[in-house]
A and B are shown apart, each in its own frame.
Chain A
Amino acid sequence: MSTTARLLDRRPKEGEPLRILAASGQLGYGIPETALRAGLARRPHAIGCDMGSIDIGPAYLGSGQLSTSEATTLRDLRLVLRGAREVDVPLLIGSAGSAGAEPHLSRTLEYVDRIAREDGKTLRVAVVHANIDRAWLRGMVAAKRTRPIGPGLPELDDETITQATHIVGQMGTEAFLRALALSPDVVIAGRACDTAIFAAIPALLGYPMGPAMHMAKIIECTSICCIPGGRDAMLGTLEGESFTLESMNPVRAATPLSVAAHSLYEQADPHVVHEPEGTLDVRTACFEAIDERRTRVSGATWTEAAQKTIKLEGATRIGERAVLLAGSCDPRVIANREAILAGVREQVMEILPGDDYHLIFRVYGTGATSLFSVKPPALVDEVFFLGECIANDADRAKAVVATAKQYLLHHGFAGRLSTGGNIAFPFTPPEISAGTAYRYSIYHLTECDDLAAAFPTELVMLGA
């Protein structure tokens, strides 16, 4: 009998609260163990972990690699797998392996299998796939049922769909419910809405979706909704029309203000949250302090969408990256930096002619961090040169930054005193091949009439 079957057997009775433990907002970076233990001691009915995000950039979705190290990912998975077994409840993990595409999902399953074998256990694992079928997506594009989420990307077309190395969709609660219907011990899902991981068990047990989804939205980042914010496990107790939040680290307080403020986090609209199956509106929510560390929330509303939608994410290779790292504290180099870099670029073009690469320099200390044309900072005494080249192959990229390095070191300019070299290298080689570079080519919304077909589930037995 699986943990899901046992949860259904001893489900909270009418009017009894449901406890969901959010163990991690980004599994694989080191779950704080003391707070997790404190959470397990509260006998949660289910444990959820978010494992990924789009914020980490396109490299992971593009390459199929995890953003977290193998050792720490295994450590965290051991903690939550063993923790869930200790308290005998379902464990739900979403956005497996950082980006939630097929390679990330397989790697995560491989890790879970390895841990189950170490422990001599067999696990029923419900797997939900998030890779989007390209033929289906082409059909949706042809039917004009897709659109970009912002003006930064053009409308989807065949070429973009073909070129993306991986395309995933963010699955919602519906997909987790189908996974739970397979009666698993553990659910491992590809790319998923953070909320779905934590709203699925309340939905399975028939709790009202407004408060359930609002609770999920807040606890998906664990204790970030507290003062001071942190990464410790967070307990959400769903009473029905209200829920209570408590950090499992006693130094962190969930106050009405800190919890309300979490609606702002990484959201363009603080008032509504769009999910594949509907919309959460938090404008009517009330936040009241129970004591100094706990807040009760009620009043958010959930509206089912007539037309289901999926948020799509895709990444495309743009080339091979090489970088150059160097500093300078020479006031004349700093003052002449723009002319020097223009000269270096000219020399590089002369030695390595071609339009098959891009070379840029960021000069830290002079406003290189800003994305906008804002007032530059006051001139500093020391700057850092970060050269970056993207070329079709790694050798070419390396050749470009190596040439740039040599000419930047020795570039002559009017008034130069430092003929030994314009820049300081922190180590050699200061030019480094940084692997394949990707960009997000897809961040679009598609309508979907069959979510079950978009996010197929399967049951696998892992471990001994």
Chain B
Amino acid sequence: MTRLVDAARVIRSKNAGPLHLTLDLMFSDLASFELALQSPSLTPASVARLYGVAQDTVEVIPFAAAQAIKIVLLRPIVAGGFGDADVYGAQQHRPLLDVVL
């Protein structure tokens, strides 16, 4: 049982424009990257459950050149709009810290 926090070198979130949020997972070795790639915990369906959003709004994109996985979500509120809680989107990675691969 490997926890994502132990396998990943970087687990971060940030806006990609004001309408999208991107979560980047970077791994320091190929084995961890591949373990994460095939993990049932990081499928669009699992990520959708984790964030409480519809599955068809979640994209999971492997990026082999950087041994990284990108997850793209829609922001529930346009960045900086009334009721926003994270204008830069830099603190939305928290649920990923509990993921077991």
Binding site for B on A (CB under 8 A): 54-59, 148-153, 257, 260-261, 263-271, 282, 285, 287, 318, 358, 360, 362, 368-375, 390, 437-440, 443
| Contacting pair B78 A370 (CB below 8 A) | no
Neighbouring A residues of B91 by C-beta, 8 Å: 369-370
| Contacting pair A443 B18 (CB below 8 A) | yes
| Contacting pair B19 A260 (CB below 8 A) | no
Neighbouring B residues of A438 by C-beta, 8 Å: 80
How many Å lie between the Cα of A54 and that of B17 in the bound state? 7
CB distance from A259 to the nearest CB of B (A): 8
Is B32 part of the contact surface with A, judged by Cβ < 8 Å? no
How many Å lie between the Cα of A382 and that of B50 in the bound state? 26
| Contacting pair A270 B63 (CB below 8 A) | yes
Which of A149, A261, A439 contacts B81 (CB under 8 A)?
Answer: A439
Neighbouring A residues of B98 by C-beta, 8 Å: 375
Neighbouring B residues of A369 by C-beta, 8 Å: 85-86, 91, 94
**Cβ contacts B47-89/A at 8 Å (1 or 0 each):** 0001111000001010101111010111111111111111111
Which of A54, A57, A152, A257 contacts B67 (CB under 8 A)?
Answer: A257
Which of B17, B76, B82, B95 contacts A443 (CB under 8 A)?
Answer: B17
CB distance from A314 to the nearest CB of B (A): 11
CB distance from A311 to the nearest CB of B (A): 8
How many Å lie between the Cα of A150 and that of B19 in the bound state? 6
Neighbouring A residues of B76 by C-beta, 8 Å: 371-372
Interface pairs A-B: 8 shortest CB-CB: A150-B19, A57-B80, A373-B52, A260-B66, A261-B66, A152-B19, A268-B16, A260-B65
Is B26 part of the contact surface with A, judged by Cβ < 8 Å? yes
CB distance from A386 to the nearest CB of B (A): 10
Secondary structure dominating the interface of A: loop
CB nearest neighbor in B for A264: B24
| Contacting pair B17 A150 (CB below 8 A) | yes
How many Å lie between the Cα of A257 and that of B65 in the bound state? 7
A-B contact pairs, 27 of them (CB 8 A): A54-B18, A55-B15, A56-B87, A150-B74, A257-B28, A257-B67, A260-B65, A261-B24, A263-B63, A264-B22, A265-B24, A266-B22, A268-B17, A270-B61, A270-B66, A318-B82, A369-B86, A370-B92, A371-B21, A371-B84, A372-B92, A373-B51, A390-B82, A437-B82, A440-B81, A443-B17, A443-B18
CB nearest neighbor in B for A362: B85
How many Å lie between the Cα of A57 and that of B90 in the bound state? 13
| Contacting pair A266 B14 (CB below 8 A) | yes
Contact-size category for B? 35 or more
How many Å lie between the Cα of A152 and that of B76 in the bound state? 8
CB nearest neighbor in B for A259: B66
| Contacting pair A374 B80 (CB below 8 A) | no
Neighbouring B residues of A149 by C-beta, 8 Å: 17, 19
User: Knowing A268-B22, A362-B85 touch, does A153 contact B66 (C-beta < 8 A)?
Assistant: no
Neighbouring A residues of B87 by C-beta, 8 Å: 55-57
Neighbouring B residues of A150 by C-beta, 8 Å: 17, 19-20, 74
User: Knowing A151-B74, A372-B76 touch, does A267 contact B16 (C-beta < 8 A)?
Assistant: yes
Having A55-B14, A358-B82, A443-B18, one finds 20 other A-B pairs with CB under 8 Å, namely: A55-B88, A56-B87, A150-B17, A150-B19, A150-B74, A152-B74, A153-B19, A257-B28, A257-B66, A261-B68, A263-B65, A268-B22, A270-B61, A360-B82, A371-B84, A372-B51, A372-B95, A373-B52, A440-B18, A440-B81
How many Å lie between the Cα of A360 and that of B53 in the bound state? 23
CB distance from B70 to the nearest CB of A (A): 5
Neighbouring B residues of A437 by C-beta, 8 Å: 82
Neighbouring B residues of A271 by C-beta, 8 Å: 61, 63
